[in-house]
Chain A
Amino acid sequence: MTTTLPTHTAPAAAPRKPLRPGRVAMYALLVLAALFFLVPVYLLFATALKSPDAIAEATTWHWPSVLNWGSFRDAWAKIGGNMLNSVFLAVVATLLSAVLGSLNGYALSKWKFRGANTLFALMLFGMFIPYQAVLIPLFQFIKSLGLYGSIWGLILAHVVYGLPITTLIFRNFYADVPDALIEAATIDGAGFWQIYGKVIFPISIPGFVVVIIWQFTQVWNEFLFAATLTNTSSQPVTYALSQLAGGQAVSWNLPMAGAILAALPTLLVYILLGRYFVRGLLAGSVKG
Chain B
Amino acid sequence: MKGLSKDRLWSVAVLLPSVVLIAVFVYGFIARSVYVSLTDWGNDPAQALALDPVIRFIGLANYQDLFTGFLQGRFRQELVSTVFFTAFFILGCLGLGLGLALILDRNPRGEGLWRTIFLFPMSLSFIVTGTIWRWMLQPGGGVNQAPTLFGAPPSTFPWLSSTEAIWKFDWNRLPLLTASVVAAVLIVVAVRALRAGDRRRTLVAALCAALLLGWALLVAPNLKLLPAPELHGFNLALIGIIIAAVWQMSGYTMALYLAGLRGIPEELREAAKVDGAGDLGMYRHVIFPLLAPISLSAMIVLGHISLKIFDLVYAMSGPDNINTSVPALNMYLTSFRQNQFALGAAIGTILLILVAFVIVPYLASQFRGEEGHA
Contact = CB atoms under 8 A, between A and B. Distances in A.
A57 B140 contact: yes
A103 interface: yes
Interface in A121-146: 121-126, 128-139, 141
A58 B374 CA distance: 64
Given A5-B259, A33-B118, A191-B6, A270 B355 contact: no
B304 A122 contact: no
A223 B367 contact: no
A43 B359 CA distance: 38
Contacts of B18: 100, 104, 123, 163, 167
Contacts of A241: 127-128, 131, 315
Given A136-B33, A278-B255, A125 B26 contact: yes
Given A167-B18, A221-B126, A256-B132, A120 B367 contact: yes
B267 to A, nearest CB: 11
Given A133-B33, A241-B131, A104 B256 contact: no
Interface string A230-268: 000000001101100110000010011011001100110
Contacts of B371: 117-118
Contacts of B148: 58, 61
A203 interface: no
B141 A57 contact: yes
Given A160-B21, A224-B311, A263 B298 contact: no
A195 to B, nearest CB: 8
A208 interface: no
B149 interface: yes
Contact of B29 (A6, A9, A37, A134): A134
Given A33-B118, A60-B142, A224-B310, A262 B149 contact: no
B130 to A, nearest CB: 8
A118 B371 CA distance: 8
Interface stretch (B71-79, B212-220, B328-336): B328-336
Contacts of B99: 29, 33
Contacts of A259: 128, 131-132
Interface stretch (B9-17, B59-67, B162-170, B227-235): B9-17
Contacts of A160: 21-22, 25
Which size class do B's interface residues fall under?
35 or more
Contacts of B300: 285
Nearest to B320: A246
Contacts of B141: 56-58, 60
B32 interface: yes
Chain A contact residues, majority secondary structure: helix
Given A122-B22, A136-B341, A221 B125 contact: yes
B103 A282 contact: no
Given A167-B18, A245-B315, A134 B103 contact: no
Contacts of A167: 18
A193 to B, nearest CB: 7
Nearest to B19: A119
Given A135-B335, A160-B22, A61 B145 contact: yes
A117 B344 contact: no
Contacts, number: 300
B332 A242 contact: no
A220 B97 CA distance: 25
Interface in A159-194: 160-161, 163-164, 167, 186, 189, 191-193
* Interface pairs A-B: 10 shortest CB-CB: A221-B125, A57-B141, A111-B11, A270-B123, A134-B29, A133-B352, A192-B10, A57-B140, A223-B311, A132-B348
17 contacts: A47-B135, A61-B145, A104-B14, A117-B370, A118-B371, A119-B15, A122-B27, A132-B351, A137-B28, A163-B22, A191-B3, A252-B135, A256-B132, A262-B127, A262-B128, A285-B301, A286-B256
Given A40-B132, A133-B30, 20 more contacts: A7-B107, A30-B114, A36-B247, A37-B118, A44-B135, A60-B142, A112-B374, A120-B367, A124-B363, A130-B304, A130-B307, A134-B26, A163-B21, A164-B22, A167-B18, A221-B127, A241-B128, A262-B128, A270-B120, A286-B294
Interface of A: 2-3, 5-10, 26-27, 29-30, 33-34, 36-38, 40, 43-44, 47, 56-58, 60-61, 100, 103-104, 106-108, 110-113, 116-126, 128-139, 141, 157, 160-161, 163-164, 167, 186, 189, 191-193, 217, 220-224, 227-228, 238-239, 241-242, 245-246, 252, 255-256, 258-259, 262-263, 266-267, 269-271, 274, 277-278, 281-282, 284-287
